[in-house]
């Protein structure tokens, strides 16, 4: 009986450690997805369509590494479609238009899941009537770049 109890305790301990390691890996992947999103946003702020396209491709690769247990298959497919549209767009204007839907979908995910240990700011451009996510409170508008860099406001902060 003692052997069975000892085996059960060892098994339970190993299983608990495995779950903790899995949670840490999943949290790291979600954080990487958010960082990949920020890379696209930052490229659009800078007016760099080529980097935005490359970053959108990288986003898709990162998102494909996330388990469907964390993000539903439907949400993954929606975000992959949005990122693909940005990656395939031939102009920064078209990338910025695609970024509207992409950001809306990312914001829904950010509100439902903990993507980062750092605050995530939901920012809004009244001219474009669109939102985006940012790691900082200062406004850097991805929809207009340098022409209206500080146009917008912080709508919410996700802790």
- What confidence category does residue 13 fall into, taking pLDDT thresholds of 50, 70 and 90? very low
pLDDT of residue 151: 94
Question: In the predicted model, what is the mean pLDDT of the chain?
Answer: 87
**SS3 call for 155:** strand
pLDDT of residue 28: 80
pLDDT 10s digits, 41-100: 999 999 999 999 999 999 999 999 998 888 889 999 999 999 999 999 999 999 999 999
Share of the chain above pLDDT 70, in %: 83
**SS3 call for 131:** strand
pLDDT of residue 1: 62
pLDDT 10s digits, 24-38: 455 688 999 999 999
pLDDT 10s digits, 109-124: 999 998 899 999 999 9
Does position 19 have pLDDT exceeding 70, yes or no? Answer: no
Nearest CA among 126, 120, 117 for reference residue 153: 126
- pTM > 0.85: yes or no: no
């Amino acid at each position: 009986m003692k052997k069975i109890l000892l085996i059960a305790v060892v098994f339970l301990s190993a299983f608990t450690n495995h779950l903790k390691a899995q949670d840490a890996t999943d949290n790291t992947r979600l954080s990487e997805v958010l960082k990949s999103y920020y890379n696209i946003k930052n490229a659009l702020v800078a007016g760099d369509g080529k980097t935005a396209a490359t970053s959108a491709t990288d986003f898709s690769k990162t998102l494909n590494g996330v388990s469907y247990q964390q993000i539903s298959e439907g949400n993954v497919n929606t975000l992959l479609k949005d990122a693909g549209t940005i990656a395939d767009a031939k102009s920064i204007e078209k990338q910025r238009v695609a970024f509207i839907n992409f950001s809306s979908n990312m914001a829904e995910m950010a509100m439902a899941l903990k993507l980062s240990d750092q605050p995530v700011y939901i920012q809004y451009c009244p001219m474009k009537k669109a939102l985006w996510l940012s790691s900082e409170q200062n406004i850097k508008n991805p929809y207009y770049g340098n022409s209206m860099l500080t146009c917008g406001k912080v709508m919410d902060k996700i802790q």
